[in-house]
Amino acid sequence: MCVFMVTAGWLGGTAMSATTEMIVTDRNSGLAIYGFDPVAYFTDRAPLSGREDLEFRHGGVAWRFRNEGNRAAFAKHPDVYMPRYGGYDPVAIAEGMARSGHPEFWAIHDQRLFLFYSPEARRTFETDPGRLIQRADEKWPQVIRTLSP
């Protein structure tokens, strides 16, 4: 089952990010996935901002959550809620490059969260997610070597 969503209002331009242990992180705030709550994609089916007072550190970065329940769920099972490929766009990875995904361009496929660089990348993924994930899985070890921890 796939859930595909995109919301308008991204600020546009190139996302400013860096990585810590291969997780897309806003280099200005140090927040994973720009402060969006990763659990909310599953519970609310929407990209929702987390609260500053509800942070949890995992993978060397701070994650934010909308409520205590979401933070507790993530703390117990971070691998379930973290975006695949650390938040990098699987379409770009399948082509052998790292491109930061943006939290407002997302999909859930096989109970995993994927973030995309653009609405076009999300649409490309939507056409054949299984094939793109397979290609991204094959390329990911090479792409990881190009990232700075």
User: What is the tens place of the pLDDT at every residue in 29-48?
Assistant: 999 999 999 999 999 999 99
The reported pTM is 0.85
- Alpha-carbon distance of 91 to 97, in angstroms, equals 9
| pLDDT tens, position by position, 123-147 | 999 999 999 999 999 999 999 988 8
Residue 133 belongs to some domain of the structure: yes
Amino acid present at 64: R
Tell me how many domains the chain contains.
Answer: 1
The verdict on residue 30 lying in a domain is: yes
- Tokens standing for 18? 């860096």
Domain encompassing residue 48: 2-7+17-144
CB 123 within 8 A of CB 132: no
Q: Is residue 12 part of a domain?
A: no
- Each residue's pLDDT tens digit, 51-107: 999 999 998 899 999 999 999 999 999 999 999 999 999 999 999 999 999 999 999
